[in-house]
A = this chain, B = another copy of it.
Amino acid sequence: MKMERKPVRRSRGRPRSFDRDQALDRAMAVFWERGYEGTSLEELLEAMRINPSSLYSAFGDKERLFQMAIDHYLEGPGSYMVPILENEPTTKGAFEKLVRAAAKELTRPDQPSGCMLSLALNHCSPAAASVQAALTERRAKSLARLQARIEHGIAEGELPPKTDARELARFFMTILQGMSVQARDGASRDSLLATAQAAMRAWPV
């Protein structure tokens, strides 16, 4: 049972000649590699293999395309954290697996290095302020997930009751974001794994 193109019922006009999801995937790759402001429309159009009219009618404008690309990233290559945090039996085990998985994911040869969300828009011109707001929100959500798992661990007695869940979550966010910068700077997977291992030594007793 394979689907031809888009299996959705046709609306009236001329059908779209490209695969929207594939185009978004390609846009994501370029934004991931070059950042929001560092990516030109020309690069996007070439990578997506569509022309301006198609891009604007399908995705709105550069800003909205970027936001869709970020969400596409978080549901795809950036989604590896969720099942680890949810399914690992122990909290410490979850974080251990998390940082090791990050070391691997952030240095995959078939992808741009580092985390698209961590690296995006650390410099913000006034023009990109609204994009940055959206990113900040998503980073906050990511932090909240780490924190929730730690709080769960405290409740289960896996961690000292006095543990500051938010600050421990922030420590791991710092590690993950730093690993992204390292990956961008050419650090090897083994280096990141060593950092992951070091980070776990900071786990509260």
Q: List residues of A whose CB falls within 8 A of some B CB.
A: 33-35, 37-38, 114, 118-119, 122-125, 136, 139, 164, 167-168, 170-171, 173-182, 184-187, 191, 194-195, 198-204
Distance in angstroms from A190 CB to nearest chain B CB is: 9
Identical copies of this chain, number: 2
A187 to B167, CA, bound (A): 10
Interface on chain A toward B: helix, strand, loop, or mixed SS?
Answer: helix
Cβ–Cβ contact A177 & B175, under 8 A: no
Q: Which residue of B lies closest to A204 (CB)?
A: B201
A198 to B124, CA, bound (A): 29
Cβ–Cβ contact B198 & A201, under 8 A: no
Distance in angstroms from A126 CB to nearest chain B CB is: 9
Q: Which residue of B lies closest to A188 (CB)?
A: B170
A195 with B182, Cβ < 8 A, contacts A33-B123, A202-B201 known: no
Q: Which residue of B lies closest to A178 (CB)?
A: B178
Residue with the highest number of chain B CB atoms closer than 10 Å, among A33, A122, A175 = A122
